């Protein structure tokens, strides 16, 4: 049966997919709020969930989300951040790239707005945005 064959092959497929995750990131979760005593602006505080997480950032489409083309709103795509399937990550978490072959990615903070789930995933491909408001 195809399902049984796929289930048997999945650990090997996951290991092969994870071998492509050559960048690293930290994952943080909102833990509360702090108030600036001068401006009275609130900012979230973050608690470390994991560090040294293997990852790979894939850019989205060239069209910004919500861009109108010929009077119609174009359906853009968001960038995705691939992490191992075992990674503890939730919508609202912040993932910051800490090491990459592309030096311009180091320090980039990405906010998770989608966490796919399913029985036959090889990687967890998170939809992310650089803008915390999503």
pLDDT tier for residue 41 given thresholds of 50, 70 and 90:
very high
Q: What is the pLDDT of residue 48?
A: 97
Q: Does 134 fall in a domain?
A: no
Say what the pTM is.
Answer: 0.79
Using left for φ > 0, alpha for ψ between -120 and 50, and beta otherwise, residue 18 falls in alpha
pLDDT tier for residue 77 given thresholds of 50, 70 and 90:
low
Domain of residue 34, CATH code? 2.40.10.270
Per-residue pLDDT averaged across 60-70, rounded? 54
Domain count within the chain? 1
Spatial contact of 110 and 127, defined as CB atoms under 8 Å apart: no
DSSP state of 93: -
Element (H, E) at 56: strand 42-58
Per-residue pLDDT averaged across 124-133, rounded? 86
Highest mean pLDDT among 13-22, 58-67, 82-91, 118-127: 82-91
Instruction: Look up the domain containing 95 and give its range.
Output: 2-129
Q: Does 114 fall in a domain?
A: yes
């Amino acid at each position: 049966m195809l399902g049984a064959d796929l289930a048997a092959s999945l650990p090997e497929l996951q290991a092969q997919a994870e071998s492509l995750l050559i960048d690293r990131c930290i994952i943080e979760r909102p833990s509360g709020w702090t108030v600036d005593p001068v401006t009275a602006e609130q900012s979230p505080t973050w608690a470390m969930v994991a560090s040294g997480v293997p990852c790979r950032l894939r850019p989205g489409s060239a069209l910004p989300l919500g861009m109108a083309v010929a009077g119609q709103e174009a359906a853009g795509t968001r960038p995705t951040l691939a992490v191992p399937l075992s990674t503890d990550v939730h919508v609202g978490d912040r993932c910051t790239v800490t090491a990459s072959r592309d030096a311009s990615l180091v320090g980039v903070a990405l906010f998770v707005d989608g966490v796919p789930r399913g029985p036959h995933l090889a990687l967890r491909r998170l939809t992310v945005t650089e803008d915390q408001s999503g």
